[in-house]
């Protein structure tokens, strides 16, 4: 098999997605850490504001990456079939809801929020909250967690109540934009509350 054929296969596609996502994760973390260190060193207003903005964005991007890979590993550990996309993408794989069992779909669903929790725990362990920028980083992560919990947990409840996975998905996400707006407001509120709480602690 040629290198080109290998790269086009499932393993090659997965490797490409992993490298792109890892690069995005490290870039987000690197930009934030640089700005946060600048703010800590100077104590000036502009560096602090930039560190806060970078922290919020990095918290979101890093959470999204952990969330999607959590979904992926949850599905794979449950033995579900997944299709890796050929081109790098934030949502890098497709899951066959119609052809998967309830157990497999529940494993997929659980993996995403667990990924969010994992990145929060790792961040708390490795990065003490000693600056507004770091408070913003955690606020972005907590806001992302709350967003996905309200967005995705209703699907889990519907499947556990006996509804077919594809019907649960279509029924819930069929609510469209109002659903996403509601979950976004809840995520923003949770993030803001986290940020303000960490600032006064």
* pLDDT tens track for 40-91: 999 999 999 999 999 999 999 999 999 999 999 999 999 999 999 999 999 9
User: What's residue 7's pLDDT?
Assistant: 60
Q: pLDDT tens for residues 109-151?
A: 999 999 999 999 999 999 999 999 999 999 999 999 999 999 9
Q: How confident is the model at residue 10 (pLDDT cuts 50, 70, 90)?
A: confident
- Backbone region of residue 176 per phi and psi (left: phi > 0; alpha: psi in -120 to 50; beta: other values): left
Count the Cβ atoms, other than its own, within 10 Å of residue 90.
Answer: 12
> 125, exposed or middle or buried, with CB in 10 Å at 0-12, 13-18, 19+?
exposed
User: What's residue 1's pLDDT?
Assistant: 43
């Amino acid at each position: 098999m040629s290198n080109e054929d290998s790269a086009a296969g499932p393993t090659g596609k997965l490797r490409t997605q992993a490298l792109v996502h890892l690069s995005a994760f490290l870039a987000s973390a690197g930009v934030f850490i640089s700005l946060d260190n600048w703010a800590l060193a100077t104590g000036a207003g502009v560096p602090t504001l930039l560190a806060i903005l970078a922290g919020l964005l990095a918290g979101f991007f890093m959470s999204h990456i952990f969330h999607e890979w959590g979904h992926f590993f949850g599905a794979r550990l449950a033995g579900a079939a997944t299709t890796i996309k050929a081109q790098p993408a934030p949502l890098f794989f497709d899951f066959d809801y119609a052809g998967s069992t309830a157990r497999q779909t529940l494993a997929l669903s659980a993996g995403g929020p667990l990924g969010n929790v994992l990145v929060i725990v790792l961040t708390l362990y490795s990065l003490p909250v000693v600056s507004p920028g770091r408070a913003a980083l955690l606020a972005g992560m907590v806001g992302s967690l709350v967003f996905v919990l309200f967005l995705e947990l209703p699907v889990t409840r519907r499947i556990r109540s006996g509804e077919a996975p594809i019907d649960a998905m279509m029924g819930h996400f069929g609510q469209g934009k109002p659903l996403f707006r509601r979950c976004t407001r809840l995520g923003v509120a949770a993030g803001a509350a986290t940020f303000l709480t960490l600032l006064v602690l």
